[in-house]
Amino acid sequence: MTEQPMATTTTMMEIKVEVIARETIKPSSPTPHHLKTFKLSLIDQFAPASYTPLVLYYATCGGSSYEERTQLLKNSLSQILTRYYPLAGRIKDPLFVDCNDDGVDYIETRVNCPISSILKQPKSELQNHFIPIKFKESGSGSLLLIQASFFEYGGMAIGIYTNHKLADAASFTTFLKAWAATASGFPDVVSPDFTAPSIFPARDDFQTLPSQVYEKPPQKVAVRRYVFNASKLHALKAEAANARVQQPTRVEAVMALLWKCAMDASRSRLGLASTNPRRPSILVISADMRPRLVPPLPESSFGNIGRPLVVHADDESENEMNLSNLVSSIRESKLELSKNCGVSEICGLLMELGKLQMRGGEVDMYTHTSWSRMPLYKADFGWGKPTWATIGHIEVPNVVVLSPSRDGEGIEAWVTLIEEDMAFFECNKDLLDFATINPSALNSLY
């Protein structure tokens, strides 16, 4: 179904985004009858009722025309949906997806500025102009929405919005990789593995449990972007090392630093002196279980196949909360992860997290997710790799998302906190010693 160009426009900071076309893209071949019902897994049941946003910016497009690019995107999307057929279906029940080939929403927009206006000094609130958020709210029920935005002088962005009930970040990027490979004409595209629901079967008695819903908080949320380059990461890892963890990973070191700075900000806002007991804090890390299961699942496994890794910091000793000790706490929790991957353990943990969330202001809870090893910069649809790959605007506080830098050696971090905490966080000397605040995404380093 193709609609006529629409007159809808969005204006912010003199940037106008006009919707020029909208289509429903369906699989190029009908889904076989025996695959029409896709069962969700236990972990899918607990997944948040939200969408995962990603924007890929291409400053140059190899000389290909607008018509060539948009036709290639639509044709390859239709082809890859035959393999990722649940994405073209609809969630009709808490326990399954109806793979009815209703299709995915595909939107094209025209932007009234060059792409450099967005990339020179990235702003979080501008990212949502290039993600089809308002079309998700239109009631089509699409589990995947794509927005192709065309800038003046040839640059473009591809915004991808995927329902978290069906796919975690690893599944999301596996689909992206397969779509780009199809567009580029590679014959050996890996098909998704759909065995996760048989390993973690959904439970009928959990149907009435509410999913996690990320509601907009009453406080204003501030969003900041930080980049850790290779040399700063090396120095940070050295600072975080200790007798128990002599070689911390880049992600462990960055997560520990950002967690420590967030805890310090919370204490400063509340006026807690260093002699007072530390406010309880919990770090929840989304951990991929694919390589940790026995036997391990392939990278192509589709669905939500992760579990939260919960790290506590509630010791009254100030020394216990230093960087190296926080790294040790994260490492110790990771080592316990492979021992607790069973269905009963995951159920218990998810229920425990729900209770912790109910405690509200009694404890500070932070959620960290790492995309730093995901091949976001390999998404070449035939006109080159992305100039910048980033998440959409986040309006939930106490969230950190790590992603790779373009050179693969650094880490980019988006951090959200309530405004009062961010005022202290962004002035933290420990943070500023290692991170660069919002550098240009056009810089060759990234």
Residues marked as catalytic: 164, 380
Please state, as a whole number, how many other Cβ atoms lie within 10 Å of the Cβ of residue 46: 24
Distance CA 333, CA 139 (A): 41
Q: Which residues contact 288 (CB under 8 A, 6 or more apart)?
A: 168, 170, 305, 306
**Alpha-carbon distances of 319 from 38, 257, 288, 396, rounded to whole Å:** 50, 14, 31, 30
**Alpha-carbon distances of 249 from 253, 354, 364, rounded to whole Å:** 6, 29, 25
Distance CA 63, CA 154 (A): 8
Distance CA 226, CA 248 (A): 20
- Please return the burial class of 375, using the count of CB atoms within 10 Å of its CB with bins 0-12, 13-18 and 19+: middle
Distance CA 115, CA 156 (A): 7
Verify cis geometry, omega within 30 degrees of 0, for the bond prior to 295.
yes
**Alpha-carbon distances of 265 from 27, 31, 314, 417, rounded to whole Å:** 49, 52, 16, 10
Instruction: Dump the DSSP string for 51-64.
Output: EEEEEEEES--TT-
